[in-house]
Structure formats: structure tokens, C-alpha cells
Chain A
Amino acid sequence: MNETLLDLQLENAERLNISDEERVRAKAHFFVHCGQCSKLCNGKLRVRCALCKGGAFTVHRDPECWDDVLKPRRIRGHCESLEIACVDNEAGDLPFVEFYFKCAEHVSGGEKDFAAPLNLIKNNIKDVPCLACTDVSETVLVFPCASQHVTCLDCFRDYCRSRLSERQFMPHPDFGYTLPCPAGCEHSFIEEIHHFKLLSREEYERYQRFATEEYVLQAGGVLCPQPGCGMGLLVEPDCRKVTCQNGCGYVFCRSCLQGYHIGECLPEGAGEGAPNSCEYTVDPSRAAEARWDEASNVTIKVSTKPCPKCRTPTERDGGCMHMVCTRAGCGFEWCWVCQTEWTRDCMGAHWFG
């Protein structure tokens, strides 16, 4: 087994032209994200039998490209782990090898201590300047586009941050929530999303949250509109009354994302009692930051539910789940849990909670 596997990054022709000096410089050439070190580390490639997972395995040839390593059933070999050698099928064909990666920077924690390979990260043996800052860095990320655009890792992080803050990651059907080459090249999406682990922990968590939300929305689901909740909910297409199950328990209208109500949704902003017909307009994002009473509005939104009939925000201060709207002229009897009319079923199921 080729221990250093320098050549895996290179095309055949390049492999022949490389000098000894460059060989030394390029010696650490696998990068992994190590969960234990929680950073980008040098990695090492390991083999095992794809069938019995035993490590005593002789490959028939060395891997020559990343596909040989990352995709299954590419290279066969002899398994010597068990007394009776593994075979792939009834005809007795030899088994395939399975490659995996370990972190080379901490003492191995055994069989299950493996690390995610970051195949786009390479030693910059060709001294390509970064697309963004134009510095020549030692370690770079090479995008999988035809031009193989290069960025340094700092600029890659900047790129991810700027796209994350604008929610510009794309849901790719096979790879997940990912980014293309920043130069906008075709077919350039990052396939191994562990590359985004190069972000800080908080940023990666944000990435994961956005990815989950995107998945929920793509699947026709909704996000709970309650401030501070945002639970993803998958609901039947024709269901308008949504309950935030396993989340905050809020019951809301799927169409207007306000508390659940009977009858048609009110037009946006109508509930706030502000006449919208003035000619003086302001930038809505600035207006959102400049609200005197925003904090109270959030409190009201979190601690109340609207009367399902007249939508008056109602606070439940103890007692049972049977609510009677106190607004003059309404008097609707409703259930705090279901946010619909109070029924015998409510009485049976959750009268007192």
C-alpha cells in the first residue's frame, strides 16, 4: 500500500513531471475534519475489507483518483482477516476494498475513530493565487468546477459566511445544503458538506439550522412562527390548522402564520390597527429595528393566543383549558390547546391540561 499517496491529487501527466523537492513539500496531502481535534487536520488513508471490515487486506492496485477512494466497489483485493477469505459473490469473485480516513494528529482511538475527508482541500503545490485575496497560500480549497478555481481557507470561510448570512446556500438534491464555486461556474457544487466544518462552531450550527429549515420547506412543510421556536413541521397539504408538536405547542394558521383562527385570514398588518395609506414610506428593514415597543410585542406574541373567533390576544393565567373570550360582543368559548371551539372531546381529553 502506497503510504504517502502523493499522487492522488494529480493527473497522470503531472505525476511524471513532479520534482523531488515538490514531493517533499506535498507530503501531507490528505486533509480531514477531525471531530476530536475539532479542526482541519492532516489525515491518513486506511483500508479495510468492504465485507468483514477487517483491516488485513491487500489491494490489487493503488487508488489513482478521489473517486477510487470515495466511491464503493472500485478496487478489489485479497482479504486476509478471517481464516476463510471473504468472497464478493457465489462465483467466488474477490471482495472490494473500502477506504476510510483517520486523523493523523492525535493518537488513534481505535476502529471507530475516523475522520471526514475534505477532498477539495489541497497543498498548493502549484502556487495558485487565491481567487479572492490573490495571496498564494500553502493550503487551498480547489472548487470542483472545470476551471478548478482556488481560494485560500480564510477566503473560503468569508465566502461561506457571506452566503450564509444572506441565506444563499442551495439545497442540492444529492449533496445537501451547499455552495457552488464563487465565480459562478456550472456544475461546481461542493459535494462533501463536511467542508463547511471549517466554519466556527456557531456558524456551523447556523448552517445546520438553515439546512434543516430549507429541507422542511422543500418538503412542503412549515416553520413554527412563534418567536424563539422555529420548529420544522411537516403537515398534510390540505391542513390549515398546524400544531407545533414536539416544539412549543403553538397552534397557528398555515396560510397567515398567525394564531389559528376561524374564517379567512386578515390582510397583512391589518391586525395592528395602523392605517397603511399614508404616502410617506420608510425602508421596512430600518423600520423593523426602530420599534419602540418591539420587546412587548414579542412578549404578547409568546404569552398569548388569539381568540379563534375575534383574534383578541388572550393570556391564560391558570385555570382550565376552557376559555371564554372576555371581549364585549364576542364571548366565544374556545379550547386553549386546540385553538378551536370548546367541545366535549376537549373536556374529555385535556380539560385541565
Chain B
Amino acid sequence: MSSMSPSERRLHKELMSLIKEPPPGVTVDTESVQQNLSEWKINIKGFEGTLYEGEDFQLLFKFNNKYPFDSPEVTFIGTNIPVHPHVYSNGHICLSILTEDWSPALSVQSVCLSIASMLSSCREKKRPPDNTLYVKTCNKNPKKTKWWYHDDSV
């Protein structure tokens, strides 16, 4: 444990608490984490009573060695990318805490909760208006995108 870097120690602790006391609808794919502590797959369920009820989604978290001073790279992966005005069809998410408003006081758990609440408050399932152009031209890493957070109601 002592041979871990501060960044790895923090990730390890977050992982343990997420496995022991996961927030509702959130599960860590422990197999993926065992292979690589810096890439986590996390499953989240669409909450009951929302547009995403009954759907399962998967998030990929990538951490660099500056975590938690640098934000994790978070995208939806897999076959079911939620249809949502802030989620592009390639899995990129427009959410300010993932770039500009990131703080080391946030965590994997708080990011999952923000994403779950972003999904829950959605009133109409649709892609962002610039989806086609963005998906064609963007960098693979969503953190390289200069997001313009125009609306925080959904």
C-alpha cells in the first residue's frame, strides 16, 4: 500500500468505498479495474420513473497520474449510449464538472451521481443539436473539447 502513489492510493480508497457502499443503481465492473487501476468500467441503471427506466448504461473512467488534481476522462461506452441532449452518440458527455468545474473534492461517486441526475431530469430523449458534426470532427478525448455549457436545466 505504501508503494502506491498518492493518486493510486486515492483511487484505491474510492474503489473500496464504491464497492462497499455503492450509490443506488451504480456498480463497478471489478474485473476491468483489476486489470488496470487507471481505467474503470461502471454500470449505471436508468432510474424508475424516468425516461431511462429499465435501461442499462456503461461508463468508462480513465484517470491519469495527476488525478484528483486533474479530472477523469468520462464517456459512455458499449452498445447503449443514452439518447440525451448532453450526450453525443460517440459517448462524450457535456458536463462542466468533467472539465472546467472539476475539483479534487469531487469523486467517482459524485460524478456518477451527477450523470444519473442529469439523465433523470431529462424530459425529452434527443441528441444534442450539433451531434453529427461533433462526432465527425472531435478528438477521441472529450477533455480536449472546448465545451460550451449553455444550459444546465437537463
Contact = CB atoms under 8 A, between A and B. Distances in A.
Nearest to A283: B139
Contacts of A134: 9-10, 13-14
A-side interface mostly: loop
Contact of B6 (A149, A154, A183, A283): A154
Interface in B68-92: 68-70
A155 B4 CA distance: 13
A155 B114 CA distance: 25
A162 B10 CA distance: 16
Nearest to A152: B6
Interface string A254-296: 0000000000000000000000000000010000000000000
Contact of A155 (B6, B13, B14, B70): B6
Contacts of B139: 283
Contacts of A182: 69, 103-105
Interface in B21-78: 66, 68-70
B71 to A, nearest CB: 11
Nearest to A160: B69
Contacts of A152: 6
A196 to B, nearest CB: 15
B9 A158 contact: no
A159 interface: yes
A132 B13 contact: no
**Most chain B CB neighbours (cut-off 10 Å) among A154, A159, A162, A163:** A162
Given A182-B103, A182-B104, A158 B10 contact: no
Interface in A112-126: none
A315 B131 CA distance: 53
A175 to B, nearest CB: 21
Contacts of A216: none
B57 to A, nearest CB: 27
Nearest to A155: B6
B7 interface: yes
A131 B70 contact: no
Q: Which of A158, A159, A163 has most chain B Cβ within 10 Å?
A: A158
A135 B66 contact: no
Given A134-B13, A182-B104, A162 B69 contact: yes
Nearest to B101: A184
Interface string A161-192: 01100000000000000000011100000000
A240 B103 CA distance: 42
A149 B105 contact: yes
Contacts of B10: 132-134
Contacts of B105: 131, 149, 182-183
B47 to A, nearest CB: 28
Contact of A158 (B13, B69, B101): B69
Nearest to B66: A162
B7 A159 contact: no
Contact of B9 (A135, A162, A183, A283): A135
A136 to B, nearest CB: 11
A313 B3 CA distance: 53
A162 B70 CA distance: 8
Contacts of A154: 6
A290 to B, nearest CB: 17
A231 B50 CA distance: 60
A152 B6 CA distance: 9
B134 to A, nearest CB: 16
13 contacts: A130-B6, A132-B6, A132-B69, A133-B9, A133-B10, A134-B13, A134-B14, A149-B105, A152-B6, A158-B66, A159-B69, A182-B105, A184-B103
Interface of A: 130-135, 149, 152, 154-155, 158-159, 162-163, 182-184, 283
Given A133-B13, A134-B9, A134-B10, 12 more contacts: A131-B104, A132-B6, A134-B14, A158-B7, A158-B66, A158-B69, A162-B69, A162-B70, A163-B69, A182-B103, A182-B104, A184-B101
